[in-house]
Amino acid sequence: MRVEILVGSVEEVRGDGCRTVEVNGRPVGVISVGDEFFAISDRCPHMGASLCTGSLSGTLVAAGPHEYVYGRAGRVIRCPWHGWEFDLESGRSLLEPERVGLKTYRVTQRDGQVVLHT
């Protein structure tokens, strides 16, 4: 069964940076990055820290053989306890993307409100 959850106004959620809502008894972080919103499980799979209390950043990406540049600014969330990093769009771990990841959710905007789709 599909459910829509009103998270708050676009301005409020942008102001918070990350707002946590409950989905089926579990915390989901709705994160504002520029004009976009992302939603992920708010518990790190390593030891359960709230990812919303972590930091947003980018990461080094390959630009050529033996060459790396900083990229994906604001698209990587880092766990505050042990630094595990996850891609906001896919939820996948940057270190072990095939093995570790977060549940992601679709987020839209409607009538000035942020809507989480479960």
> pLDDT tens digits for 13-23?
999 999 999 99
Residue 72 CA from chain centroid, whole number: 13
Phi, psi of 44 (to 5 degrees): -65, 135
Q: Model confidence over 47-98: pLDDT tens digits?
A: 999 999 999 999 888 888 989 998 888 899 999 999 999 999 999 999 888 9
**Residue 59 CA: distances (Å) to CA of 4, 5, 68:** 32, 31, 9
* Predicted pLDDT of residue 116: 97
Residue 71 CA from chain centroid, whole number: 16
Q: Residue 35 carries which side chain, given as an amino acid letter? A: D
- pTM for this predicted structure: 0.89
Q: 88: alpha, beta or left, given left = phi > 0 and alpha = psi -120 to 50?
A: alpha
Task: Set out the domains of the chain in order of their start, with CATH numbers.
Answer: 4-117 (2.102.10.10)
